[in-house]
Amino acid sequence: MAAPQPQPQPQPAAEPQVAADARREPEVNKLFRVVMKHEGSDLHLKVGQPPMMRLRGVIRRMEMRPLSQEDMERLLLPTLDAKLKKILDETGGVDYGYVVPKAGDQDECRFRVNLFKQRGRLSLVARRVNVKIPNFAQLNLPPSIEKLCHFDQGLIILAGVTGSGKSTTIASMLDYINEHEHVHILTVEDPIEFTFTDKKAVINQREIGLDVCDWHTALKHAVREDPDIILVGEMRDRDTFEAGIHAAETGHLVFGTIHASGAASTIGRILDLFPPEMHGAIRQALAFNLRAVICQKLLPSIKQGVQRVPTNEILIFNPTVRDLIMKGEDKKLPDAITKFFAEGMLDFTESLMQLVNRGDVSQETAIEVAPNPERLKMAFKGIKVAASGML
């Protein structure tokens, strides 16, 4: 009788290996996960300080020991590939996207990272960006935002300071279009923040330094890639703005961001990119191609379960606004906004009133951030005062 053949030994299940991989995730992820757990907006790492995060708009130190330069190198350099490391060494700073994978009850989360040198040492600031793109209602945005998504061409600018939620608002607008229109959306970003899933639209996302060498090349290619809608990211210089205007003039709907505090100052900020002798031509280009300016600030909320809410100023380019821009009468824009509330325009005073009346923010906070506190105080008393009395 033949001897029994040895039976193959069972192979170990895949789960232990997966668990081991999870345990080997980068050490810095522990700090990112603390920010995620507490729903902070930013992670700050600096030599000589413990890790810090921004929570409800305030920087708070974690109960950890101060970081050394050796700690920073051990935590952060493994997050860079060779190309990013070269940029850091040559320029002193580098921007990149960083994804913390799903683990336990924490969903995947993306951070927009700036790693830079200060006083010869490494520092990091990372902004938490939700992988899931919130809709207008979840962001507490005004209803007229939806109306602006239905333009078929022109330029829409989101204005605000760093950390005012401009990128999130644009992502929500693009995803709304994604859900409703059979179009091609092309984004040019540095770095990519939100990643979109194709719905009715086809979406291509290009990252500077990863997919294309620079902004100029990316925007030069953009008009050849059959887009209906283009996100050009931050309009940081003359070349970027000219590329955005050119794309709008050739029949595309273009979204961009700019650092400005209000609608009138946005016009001034754009003009500052150009020499005075070009201002007349730029005003004409704005009058014919700009469709709306949305200015935004984020405020701490008093509503249970909500950390921050936006207050908005919305300027829509109707014939009156176009005429004011052409004539250089920017100081009359605040009154034009109040005159056309029925068309979806909104100023900060009205927006703050609505937020207070809904119980989203305190009256004290609203007055503190209002561009015209006295006008807002009068509005709380039921007395309406013209924004400037000039229109």
Tens of pLDDT, residues 365-377: 999 999 999 999 9
User: Which of these ranges, 63-67, 102-106, 327-331, 340-344, has the smallest mean pLDDT?
Assistant: 102-106
Tokens of 369: 């951030």
Classified as helix, coil or strand, 222 is helix
Tokens of 299: 């405020």
Tens of pLDDT, residues 275-324: 999 999 999 999 999 999 999 999 999 998 888 999 999 999 999 999 99
What type of residue is 95?
D
In whole angstroms, give the CA distance from residue 222 to residue 206. 10
Judge: domain 136-380, CATH 3.40.50.300: yes
The predicted structure's pLDDT at residue 6:
45
Q: Could you say which DSSP state residue 106 is in?
A: B
CATH number for 25-129: choose from 1.10.10.10, 3.30.450.90, 3.30.2350.10, 1.10.3720.10. Answer: 3.30.450.90
User: Which residues, in sequence order, are CB contacts of 224 under 8 Å at separation 6+?
Assistant: none
Q: Where are the domains of the chain?
A: 25-129, 136-380
Strands 42-46 and 121-129: antiparallel
User: Which residues, in sequence order, are CB contacts of 118 under 8 Å at separation 6+?
Assistant: 46
**Positive or negative torsion for Cα 205, 207, 213, 219:** positive
Tokens of 342: 């029925």
Is the pTM value of this prediction over 0.85?
A: no
Number of Cβ within 10 Å of residue 40's Cβ equals: 22
Tokens of 4: 């029994």
Tokens of 236: 């940081």
The predicted structure's pLDDT at residue 23:
55
Tens of pLDDT, residues 117-160: 999 999 999 999 877 899 999 999 999 999 999 999 999 999 99
